[in-house]
Amino acid sequence: MFALARKDHLARNLNNMFKRFPEEFKFYPQTWLLPAEYGDFRKQFKDKSKGRKTFISKPEASCQGRGIFLTRNLEDFEVSGHYVVQRYIHKAFLIDKLKFDLRIYVLLCGVDPLRIYFYNEGLCRLAT
């Protein structure tokens, strides 16, 4: 559970799965774990051919939106800071012009054989 519930561990696992199965795991935005992947992340600011990119940065061990910021500047990051950074999706799906996230509750009972139960209700959070 720890490998999925913390955003830094989830990002690491998704990145590893993307390397192994790129077609099946292209559903999430490009993600870096800083400071470990700082060199690769820095390269994003050198390629000016695609215009200025916006990134969303989240502290790796925070919650409830604390410490999240949007930036287009590499200088906004502390070199030793621990962040999960993703390419910001500009043309995201919206509900009444608001960004949102959907939460679907799942119970994983076993993996061999695979047994998953989905709760009939979920949660939608709208950004204001």
Q: What pLDDT is stored for residue 17 in this prediction?
A: 94
> What whole-number distance in Å separates Cα of residue 48 and Cα of residue 84?
23
Q: What pLDDT is stored for residue 49 in this prediction?
A: 64
Residues 11 and 37 both lie in one domain: yes
Q: What pLDDT is stored for residue 16 in this prediction?
A: 95
Residues 81 and 101 both lie in one domain: no
Residues 66 and 8 both lie in one domain: yes
- Angstrom CA distances, 118 to 25, 91, 108, stand at 21, 29, 9
User: Which residues face 107 on adjacent strands?
Assistant: 117
- Angstrom CA distances, 46 to 13, 41, 80, 124, stand at 27, 10, 21, 37
Q: What pLDDT is stored for residue 93 in this prediction?
A: 86
Specify the pTM: 0.75
Domain that holds residue 86: 2-91
Residues 97 and 66 both lie in one domain: no
Res. 124: pLDDT tops 80? yes
The backbone region for 65, taken as left when phi is positive above 0, alpha when psi lies in -120 to 50, beta otherwise, is: left
Q: How many domains does the chain have?
A: 2
pLDDT band at 101 (very low <50, low <70, confident <90, very high): confident
Q: Span 70-99, mean pLDDT?
A: 87
Whether the CB-CB separation of 18 and 26 falls below 8 Å is answered with yes
Q: What pLDDT is stored for residue 57 in this prediction?
A: 93
- Identify the weakest region by mean pLDDT among 1-10, 23-32, 44-53, 104-113: 44-53
Each residue's pLDDT tens digit, 17-60: 999 999 999 888 899 999 999 989 988 888 766 677 899 999 88
Secondary structure of residue 5 in the 3-state scheme = helix
Residues 35 and 86 both lie in one domain: yes
